[in-house]
A and B are shown apart, each in its own frame.
Chain A
């Protein structure tokens, strides 16, 4: 009987490819076959690039065959790329009609790093339009379905990447996390995802949503796979002015250390404000069991209070739309993308008509809220106040990290809900981001690791682990230890 290559972890596939037990072309083809078989139902991919992926795979096989060392620890292992990073050899749509069919004239730095690492890109994954949403229903190209229950949402905005992992269409994926878009999809699909420290993965060629919050990051089915990908994509980039000029944190070493299962001396804080009676009972039960497991592993667990986290949602939904209204002004129908023009319109009319036809509802709402929050007369009360709350949230974190090494909470207050359930109630949708937003506002790092299935509906739950800026390795040590103790999740 042959092994199903699509069911294996990326680290296992890499070992087999590098030992020439299997070729990268075989592994890549197996995933392309899987995509062809299941993605009609899941809709994780907006674009599949079979030819390019196989060509990249062949280059890896040729190099290994001629005795060269692999280009990276993941050389030859294929990946699904969120359709918000630019690629010169396939379209970049950001899930929007306004960029339908657009091909970038340059590669994102992250794309370049994947190519240099010998990682074949299987295609581009579905997402909420310009990364605005928590369900992937805001994609102009139809929603992605959760492989655990195809009547439910896969999270968002990176629902395509998470669903691709959960349905074995890719062993690795890339997401972006502005307010939880890597972690919440990971939680609701029982996969792993990390939002690295702000500025540690280049934003060059990452189509901007909210520049002070956006962060690309790694997604996988295990903590070790996610760590291996983290080290491939992180690093200083002179082309991103907010890029941190410091060595990449030793996350792979931390993941391997953590897998030994010892957390003696690690201080864990349970955030009181992110443990509420309004959360789904099965989510709270799963979280409490995970915390008990961390204690068994030797961690010292205490409760900490971060009172300003209760204002994170309000601050975030002012700061993000403000930055969005500014960033998305670039879609003006002049230099690229869609243009609606009946031949008798002024440039101004063309812009307004194109943006009305090219943007979806959520994007329009956020552009208008941002325009409002930044307008004179409202600026101080709205945007200005939100920036102050951002300071207060960072202070809460700093105070908490005086006494603990990491903080934990559920990743999402709910398990995946039914498709369509919240599309007409934006505020209800925003509430699913409650636990993930503080990390983005502070520029820190956080990870979601599956904590099993909810006792009330049998659907995936995620454990969120948070750490200070430039301490990403702590996430991996604690995450890997917890993952090993938890054991496999059986459907």
Chain B
């Protein structure tokens, strides 16, 4: 499945859920916040949220900031 992840093309080869994408990208689930096509998706529903072809996914983490 072709996705846009953090602005770049990504071919996802897993089961197509958000959970599977995070695993594929080696992202720590507890440290990651996520939007799909501009909508915030709470972590509770990642397991059951199926991604679709050409979805735009933003994965974000906490970094230093004032």
Tell whether A pairs with B.
no
Q: Which B positions have Cβ atoms within 8 angstroms of A?
A: none
Q: Which A positions have Cβ atoms within 8 angstroms of B?
A: none
